[in-house]
Amino acid sequence: MNQRMLHRGPDMQDYWCSEDHSIVLGHVRLSILDLSEAGKQPVQSQDGRYVMVWNGEIYNYESLRKKLVMDGRQLLFRGHSDTEVLIEYVAAYGLKEALKASTGMFAAAVFDRRTKKLCLCRDRMGEKPLYYGFLDSGFVFASDIGCIAEIAENSLEISRDALAVYLRHGYIPAPYTIYKNIYKAEAGSVVELPAPYDRPRIQKYWNVMRCARHGEKNLFAGSEKEAADHLEGLLKKSIQLQMQADVPVGAFLSGGIDSTTVTAVMQSLARGRVKTFSIGFEEHAYNEAAYAKETARYLGTDHTELYVTAKDVMDVIPKMAHIYSEPFADSSQLPMYLVSRLAKQSVTVSLSGDGGDELFCGYGSYSSVQRIWNMIKYVPYPLRHVTALGLGKIRNADHIRLNLLKNYLGRKSIESIYANHIDASADISLLSPEENLPPYKFTEYPSGYLTEDPVKNVMLMDMLMYLPDDILAKVDRAAMAVSLETRVPLLDKDIVEFAWTLPQSYKADGNQTKKVLRNVLYRYVPQSMMERPKKGFSIPVADWIRNGRLQEWAGDMLAESRIRKEGILDSAAVRKLWDGFLKDGRGAVYIWYLLMFEEWMHKVYRKKK
């Protein structure tokens, strides 16, 4: 299992086994703080009671260390790693208090030798991965689901429920994984297992829904300037803490609002020039490298850029199935991997601007669904529902406006409109017609959870699923594949909790998104430099598949005979979708979903079998 994820920790590895051989803990280390043996894992508390393996960083470990010393709970430390501080904090105050006090990103396994209880813990926002489940040999867990597949005595079985959700979103949300009986730990949760380790109990120690509800009841009463002042202070604190390392630290810089804000504040705090990294494309519609270069020049960072081609992408596509270990189809995984590989040549840690869109209302889809909801919400639902049923009987399925009416008129709430807005099921349901969609975060989302502004509801939906299960998974897996640690300052607990107290008008107003974040940024760079359309971290993969070097590869992967032989997807439906895409480019997103599933099938699943 350690060998399978050696890319996540190439510097050191070790094991620990309990006296009765019932528990074995393994760890591979990417050394960031305290590069000596004192930071080695698995680690035992000095009183011998607790043993821990974990992945991540505790940014406020110095303040935790000071509390241990001031309270007389721990006076002597072997080194200066956050690992040692965390295990001693658990020993002194208990796991619950340690999680409450810690600011950071982590996946941890803590074994209590006295009670024989094992606890698996995941950070608040879900930055670090944690998988667990049952094999014939017993209970297993790991930072990479591929480690679990590695030791499965019998071939793991594909979960068709998970596949149904994947075919709608391009990723598999927690608690599901692609395998039956193997699960993802939820963000902000603890999985408790007392001996004999057969009945896990899941508890939440932090919940973004509770955070949102508390913020709604305790709205920030200051002005927009005061909000920007407070946010800037929180950003400085978060970024200062996340710059701590005994190895080189840099930042991803796309030229957008989020990454520029992080980089600008980081450069203002740094003693020297911050190393920044970006990649570009020759296709102008997708290229932000020129903006990033201009921003880097203004901020005075030490900037490196790399322009990539279809060949560069083709060369790394075969790596994706192994890197993500289960089907994953956010196509920005490719540029994410390439920029991580570029950064790793100079640094071991890179700060990222992820989280700004979800926290500060940055996505255009938020205003889109609000416009749709505003147009239909005053029509009584029974009338809308009957009309939608009638429209559904019309055969002209290619008429765009008709499809929009059919899709949205019968929706009860803005939440259901948003779920449909980003749901690929209209086409993908044909691929697995016998399957029903299982319950998951979107189907179980409580309608009307927040009341001050309905857009907050859809932002919360993204915080619960899209952010941890797509964005953060993409960043962590791509970067750790090249042994690069990423840190996300905008997702600091204090920033997240503050963002939910802000009135919605402080985040978005008309066509202006992320207002309060922009107000901070404009203290560091001219507003005119940032006034341009949002592009996102995307890649011209659809063009390359239809008209370029990737068409032959894609055609082979989706060949009707191949799909039919596998017996999982509807081969005729796949063929129809592929032909339609080649004809007019429709369904590009769904094509990538299928391609990444097929890559996983043949590079990981079939290979294992």
Digit-coded pLDDT (tens) for 145-202:
999 998 987 779 999 889 989 988 999 999 999 999 999 999 999 999 999 888 999 9
Per-residue pLDDT of 50-104, as tens digits, reads 999 999 999 999 999 999 999 998 878 888 899 999 999 999 999 999 999 999 9
Give DSSP secondary structure letters for 158-224.
B-HHHHHHHHHHSS--TT--SBTTEEEPPTTEEEEE-TT--S-EEEES--HHHHHHHHHHS---S-H
Q: How confident is the model at residue 371 (pLDDT cuts 50, 70, 90)?
A: confident
For the segment 105-124, the average pLDDT, to the nearest whole number, is 97
Task: Identify the pLDDT of residue 359.
Answer: 97
Helix or strand or coil: residue 249?
Answer: strand
Of 334, 287, 295, 298, nearest to 313 by C-alpha is 334
| Contacting residues for 141 by C-beta, under 8 A, at least 6 apart | 109, 120, 130, 131, 132, 133, 148
Per-residue pLDDT of 187-212, as tens digits, reads 999 999 999 888 999 999 999 999 99
Angle made by CA atoms 536, 361, 534, in degrees to the nearest 5: 25
pLDDT surpasses 90 at 429: no
Instruction: Give the helix ranges, DSSP H, for 345-421.
Output: 356-360, 364-376, 381-392, 400-408, 414-421
Task: Identify the pLDDT of residue 200.
Answer: 94
Task: Identify the pLDDT of residue 518.
Answer: 97
Per-residue pLDDT of 451-488, as tens digits, reads 667 889 899 999 999 999 999 999 999 999 999 999 99
Residue that wins the pLDDT comparison between 368 and 517? 517
How do 249-252 and 275-281 pair as beta strands?
parallel
Task: Identify the pLDDT of residue 310.
Answer: 81
Cβ contact 12:152 at 8 Å: no
Q: How confident is the model at residue 433 (pLDDT cuts 50, 70, 90)?
A: low
The two structure tokens encoding residue 127: 């930055």
Task: Identify the pLDDT of residue 609.
Answer: 56
> Among residues of the chain, what percentage have pLDDT more than 90?
63
The two structure tokens encoding residue 597: 């599933």
Task: Identify the pLDDT of residue 59.
Answer: 97
| Residue 560: CB atoms within 10 Å | 13
Helix or strand or coil: residue 89?
Answer: helix
Rg over alpha carbons for the chain, rounded to the nearest Å, is 24
| Contacting residues for 405 by C-beta, under 8 A, at least 6 apart | 387, 388, 391
d(CA 352, CA 348): 13
- Bridge partners (DSSP) of residue 25 are 16
Residue 232 parent element (H or E): helix 224-242
Q: How confident is the model at residue 48 (pLDDT cuts 50, 70, 90)?
A: very high
- Cis check for the bond before 489: say yes or no (omega within 30 of 0): no
Q: How confident is the model at residue 431 (pLDDT cuts 50, 70, 90)?
A: low
Average pLDDT, the chain: 89
d(CA 288, CA 337): 17
